[in-house]
Structure 1
Amino acid sequence: MKVLIATEKPFAAVAVDGMRKVIEDAGAELILLEKYTAKADLLAAVADVDALIIRSDKVDAEVLDAAKNLKIVVRAGAGYDNIDLAAATAHGVSAQNTPGQNSNAVAELVFGLAVMMCRNMYNGTSGTELKGKTLGIQAFGQVGRNVARIGRGFDMSISALDPYCPDAAMEEAAVKPVHSVEELYRENRVVSIHIPATPETRGSIGYDLVTSMPKGGLLINTARKEVIDEEGLIRALEARPDLKYAADVAPDRAEEMKEKFGGRVFFTPKKMGAQTSEANINAGIAAARQAIAFLTTGEDRFRVNK
């Protein structure tokens, strides 16, 4: 068995050490492809491997065509829109993610962004506190649940929208269920986005939703830039000088927005939700374990393609 770890942005060395132990203890061979700059390097590396572990690297039909022996690809992280799921299915490849491994890191970043924006990016002017404010969570998965946990520590009033999560599960976490996206935005001073980028969600958050937020509204996006209607967001920020937007995934029109709105917008230089040593290690080792489990026992619990 051969397992390829292909990462343009490498795992931390300690994560690779842990992954190597999992893989080699199972009698498999580990192949590392780090900091590659050409797709041709990836195409050559996948030629005879049984499993592929990636981070934000793209696995499309061309990669799958080149990977003649590939049986599983694992994305170390929760999101998996960098894998062509239909192509993976067509090639008989199990596509998996590692849900929950990065969730605390992303949730902590939400509040790092929230405090910074509420304090006017620490520019010396008077800001606001999170205590007593309303927090709306758009999707109540692993990240959303951690956001709620931390929000309770700030003594915030929390509600969430997730059609796939039972009301009882939210209520057990001291979170008020809401049942429409309009209600979520209308009722919350701070809204944190955690939805995936799907045909239904792309461009779904725009002018109407953002301008429906209460005075002083703050929208935080640690999900995907594609869920934002950028034209609509820009119009909303123009119409409502009290609104702010922060994201760990820069929009396509980031420079224009920074020029127009200054300290009312903030974007991290690259996607940083999972950029902690703990999340890096957790997700990497989980990916290695899932790859080995699939190759040895057929364990397919985290499969995301049909």
Structure 2
Amino acid sequence: MAKVLIATEKPFAATAVAGMKDVIEGAGNELVLLEKYTEKAQLLAAVADVDAIIIRSDKIDGEVMDAAKNLKIVVRAGAGYDNVDLAAATAHNIIVENTPGQNANAVAELVLGILVFTVRNFYNGKAGSELMGKTIGILAFGNVGRNVARVAKGFGMNVIAYDAFCPAEAIEAAGVKACASQEELFKEADIVSLHIPATAETKLSINYDLCNTMKKGAILINTARKEVIDEAGLLRLMACREDLKYITDIKPDADAEFAKFEGRYFSTPKKMGAQTAEANTNAGIAAAKQINAYFAEGCTKFQVNK
């Protein structure tokens, strides 16, 4: 029997926890909870004797792994996993997995929801514009990008995409025009929606020069990762180009500076992409099933570290 810890500073919905409990205990494993903890010491104490951990945005670093002598697997309930130290996990012989696709529809609906809010001038009573006929460029055509394409088509938008790791043929097969480069995408789109991970190659890659190639009146939307934005460069560009808008569900470090561009900037109070009851439950249940599969069959299908 494996002991599984759900460690969540921001807890799962109660219904999600109940479903995860049924899955974990139904397979003969034990489930324990650490919710709304306020100090790292609480996490370090809780991991001391567990075999598996399910997290959301919680940070699992080398210190946590040192404290977790029995730990074999960490599953991040969500797509991103930059809150887990993968190198440290590999050094400790710990499997790290994510749950790709479980939050994809929630993020896609948020993208289009914020876009409607933006093109209608943040609902300030003044006449705005429509999304129909506009071209949305999707940077990275993974689970979220594909869902953004699906929803955008429902608005009558033209959809183009670029993904360095997804063949153009696969993008075209989804009824989306494949761009040959990131630069082409930025030049052709009225709206660019970012869905890239924060990696050594992508961090600060959305910069002054790239964004300056965007069309007049273009909108940049980021529901991916804060680290991919060169905030200093984007601030400088928005000061020069009064036609550009930036909207995000990830509050920038320079939020106060961006807020000076009234009518051209919007950020949600906190990251909202996966904040739906459905996504919360889907990701949690998927994480629980993956842990069961690992202990029952040695399955590591969603492993992200090597």
Q: Same fold (TM over 0.5)?
A: yes
Residues 183-239 of structure 1, C-alpha deviation per residue, up to 9 Å, x if partnerless? 110110000000000111110001111121111100000000100000110011111
Q: Which residue of 1 aligns with 2:265?
A: 265
For residues 90 and 180 of structure 2, what CA distance do their matches in structure 1 show?
Answer: 33
What is the SS of the residue equivalent to 2:200? coil
Alignment-mate amino acid for residue 294 of structure 1:
Y
Query: Where does 1:1-306 land on structure 2 (aligned, <5 Å)?
Result: 1-258=2-259, 260-306=260-306
Q: CA deviation at 1:263?
A: 2.1
Alignment-mate amino acid for residue 71 of structure 1:
K
For residues 95 and 263 of structure 2, what CA distance do their matches in structure 1 show?
Answer: 44
For residues 245 and 289 of structure 1, what CA distance do their matches in structure 2 show?
Answer: 38
Structure-1-length-normalised TM-score: 0.99
- Ranges in structure 2 where 5+ consecutive residues have no aligned partner: none
Q: CA deviation at 1:18?
A: 0.4
Alignment-mate amino acid for residue 17 of structure 1:
A
Structure-2-length-normalised TM-score: 0.99
Alignment-mate amino acid for residue 56 of structure 1:
S
Matched-pair contact (CA < 8 Å) for 2:203–2:228: yes
Number of residues paired by the alignment? 305
Residues 104-144 of structure 1, C-alpha deviation per residue, up to 9 Å, x if partnerless? 00000000111111111011111111000011000000000
For residues 296 and 42 of structure 1, what CA distance do their matches in structure 2 show?
Answer: 26
Matched-pair contact (CA < 8 Å) for 1:163–1:179: no
For residues 100 and 156 of structure 1, what CA distance do their matches in structure 2 show?
Answer: 23
User: What's the RMSD between the two structures over aligned residues?
Assistant: 0.7
For residues 277 and 270 of structure 1, what CA distance do their matches in structure 2 show?
Answer: 16
Alignment-mate amino acid for residue 113 of structure 2:
G
For residues 8 and 151 of structure 2, what CA distance do their matches in structure 1 show?
Answer: 31
- Ranges in structure 1 where 5+ consecutive residues have no aligned partner: none
Deviates more, 1:177-186 or 1:101-110: 177-186
